[in-house]
Chain A
Amino acid sequence: MTTIQRIWRLRNRLIRLSGTKCQDCGLVTYPPKAACPKCGSRNLIEIELPREGEVLTYTVLNIPIKGFEQYAPLIIAIIKLGEAKVLAQLTDVKPEEVRVGMRVQATIRRTAPTLDGVVPYVVKFKPIRGEEADLKEREAEALTA
């Protein structure tokens, strides 16, 4: 189980999707680093990554780690977001609908409670469908909430 301290520290990065960009070699990295993994430069700036991208690879976990049982089958993907890659959960999609190359967009959702029982929000990714379908989905969510 994660802690409230960790969620609090990461609150901006997890919601805004922050990466770091090397001012010397140009490499964009997620998660953010203190120095560039490619050239070692410490001359980095924090940037916001694009919020739309495509699935590079994914897995469906029938047994997530302890604390995440409620999300099984849990779909985790590595998503290409501009020049960076981001590992995150996919949501609003059935396991059998996920495809490599599928276009997805960031959405802010609840995740498993921390040790202290706090329910944190993180960025997850959902498929980009037509706007109409999206609206229906949100209506359905509002109804079930």
Chain B
Amino acid sequence: MRDVFIVGVGLTEVGKRVDVALRDLAAEVVVKAMEDAGNEKPEAIVVGNMLSSLVEQENLAALIADHTGLRGISGFKAEGACGSGGAALLAGYSLVSSGLFDKVLVVGIEKLHERPTPDTARGLAYAADADYELIYGISFAGLNALVMRYYMDKHGVTREEMAHWAVMMHENAYHNPYAQLRKKITLETVINSPVIADPVRLFDSCPLSDGAAAIMLVSEKYRKLNDTPVRVAGIGNALDSPDLSSRFELDRFIAAKLSTDRALRMAGVSIDDVDVAEIHDAYSIVAAISIEEIGFAERGKAPRLWAEGRFRPGDKPVLNPSGGLKARGHPVGATGIYQVAEIAMQLRGDFPGLKVGGEVGLAQNIGGVGSNVTTVVLRR
């Protein structure tokens, strides 16, 4: 396998982007990533996206390539629910490391505000088991709520401890020009917010987001396209059951652990080496389990640690300086690309929000309720 480098990144502001068509949102980040990579064109494009069928558009690779002057290159879309971005990175990485291509552009995009919210919410629930879960009308928030109650009961975690996560994410996002929710909140904001799916409250949840992100992956031959190339030192993906019923343990995401182990082993680094990470906090419960499966906290302890002030700038590791899915936002199929682009910028030193720096960074993108997880380790 050949080494793979990030030589270009492009992000757009996350939010309600009804002003821009899908193809133009994609074009913005494709152009930014190419410009960041010395205006070099890719030989292939891989698109991470979950629900473009909601905007009646599939065949995204062709649409985006054609719209951005890349007609004739190779490409396809990769899907893994909320982990679609990670799936696209895994495919893009493989295309470069295998030697099939030297320059691959990985683009994540999602447009969730094109349809009424009930349609979008139903679409998001397609990440679950349609035959055995969706048939009862449970939403994606509901599935996470089942895990949250089980986890809090089992580990004796308090409502207030859980709430600290959202407060911290809003503090971090306040500085991020790409973030959707750039306002600080208090514990009371979280604890008094409306119940969506008991015990999940509005502020335990990420917002509905539109957004796009792009990353240019290249082989050694093209690493000089950027003055500060960042090496993709390790990448790992793992799958678990889309249904919750057949999970061995309801308070664990085994796929998050497996994908972390694979990425760390490939990178030849230990978890203690990680300076900064972007983790997948679609709900505060997902943040807790992700942190524990990665190995930043013991099982059942993550909320206590973040309530005590851990994982903030100055700590090691710093978690989600972007504001995370909670406050940067969660443009589903683009989220995994945002995370890796943000970590690359942290290591390069040019992230436009909270700068934390570091030598080793990690990003974890989770699809479904922990059923399709990609973990990426980056090194300066």
A65 contact set on B, CB distance < 8 A: 118, 121-122, 125, 134, 137-139
Contact with A along B132-155 (1 / 0, CB 8 A): 111111110110011101100100
Given contacts A65-B121, A65-B138, contact A59 B145 (CB under 8 A): yes
From 185 to 219 in chain B, residues with beta carbon under 8 angstroms from any chain A beta carbon are 194-200
A78 touches B250 (CB 8 A): yes
A76 touches B246 (CB 8 A): no
Indicate the size class of the contact surface on chain B: 35 or more
Given contacts A59-B142, A71-B137, A76-B142, contact A6 B246 (CB under 8 A): no
Given contacts A58-B146, A59-B198, A60-B198, contact A30 B137 (CB under 8 A): no
Residue from the list B145, B149, B200, B245 in contact with A30, Cβ < 8 A: B245
Question: Does A40 count as interface, using CB distance less than 8 angstroms?
Answer: no
A6 touches B131 (CB 8 A): yes
- Whole-angstrom distance from the CB of A95 to the nearest CB of chain B? 7
Closest to A123 in B: B136
Question: Does A34 count as interface, using CB distance less than 8 angstroms?
Answer: no
Contact with B along A44-71 (1 / 0, CB 8 A): 0000000000001111111111111001
A108 contact set on B, CB distance < 8 A: none
- Whole-angstrom distance from the CB of A9 to the nearest CB of chain B? 8
Closest to A60 in B: B198
Residue from the list B119, B150, B243 in contact with A31, Cβ < 8 A: B243
B132 contact set on A, CB distance < 8 A: 30-31, 87
Tell me, in angstroms, the Cα distance from A10 to B133 when the chains sit together: 12
Given contacts A59-B142, A66-B121, contact A122 B136 (CB under 8 A): yes
Question: Does A21 count as interface, using CB distance less than 8 angstroms?
Answer: no
Residue from the list A31, A61, A88, A95 in contact with B142, Cβ < 8 A: A61
Tell me, in angstroms, the Cα distance from A86 to B133 when the chains sit together: 9
B198 touches A87 (CB 8 A): no
- Whole-angstrom distance from the CB of B119 to the nearest CB of chain A? 6
A57 touches B153 (CB 8 A): yes
Of A10, A65, A89, A112, most buried by chain B (CB within 10 Å of CB) is A65
B195 contact set on A, CB distance < 8 A: 60, 62
B241 contact set on A, CB distance < 8 A: 37
Tell me, in angstroms, the Cα distance from A88 to B125 when the chains sit together: 15
- Whole-angstrom distance from the CB of B131 to the nearest CB of chain A? 6
Tell me, in angstroms, the Cα distance from A32 to B198 when the chains sit together: 28
Indicate the size class of the contact surface on chain A: 35 or more
Residue from the list B137, B245, B248 in contact with A67, Cβ < 8 A: B137
Residue from the list B196, B199, B248 in contact with A62, Cβ < 8 A: B196
A67 contact set on B, CB distance < 8 A: 122, 137
B145 contact set on A, CB distance < 8 A: 59, 61
Contact with A along B226-249 (1 / 0, CB 8 A): 000000000000000101111110
B150 contact set on A, CB distance < 8 A: 56-57, 78
Of B119, B142, B250, most buried by chain A (CB within 10 Å of CB) is B142
Residue from the list A10, A29, A74, A88 in contact with B131, Cβ < 8 A: A10
Question: Does B130 count as interface, using CB distance less than 8 angstroms?
Answer: yes
Residue from the list A33, A64, A95 in contact with B137, Cβ < 8 A: A64
Tell me, in angstroms, the Cα distance from A38 to B132 when the chains sit together: 20
Tell me, in angstroms, the Cα distance from A87 to B147 when the chains sit together: 12
Question: Does B3 count as interface, using CB distance less than 8 angstroms?
Answer: no
Tell me, in angstroms, the Cα distance from A61 to B142 when the chains sit together: 6
Tell me, in angstroms, the Cα distance from A33 to B132 when the chains sit together: 12
Question: Does B129 count as interface, using CB distance less than 8 angstroms?
Answer: yes
Closest to B144 in A: A59
Residue from the list B131, B136, B146, B246 in contact with A37, Cβ < 8 A: B246
> What would 17 more interface pairs be, CB under 8 Å, given A78-B244, A87-B133?
A2-B130, A2-B134, A6-B131, A14-B135, A31-B245, A57-B153, A59-B138, A59-B199, A63-B139, A65-B139, A66-B119, A68-B136, A76-B136, A76-B138, A76-B142, A111-B135, A122-B135
Subset of 7 A-B contacts with CB under 8 Å: A56-B250, A57-B250, A59-B145, A61-B141, A62-B196, A64-B139, A122-B136
Give chain B's interface residues, CB within 8 Å of chain A.
Answer: 118-119, 121-122, 125, 129-139, 141-142, 145-147, 149-150, 153, 194-200, 241, 243-248, 250
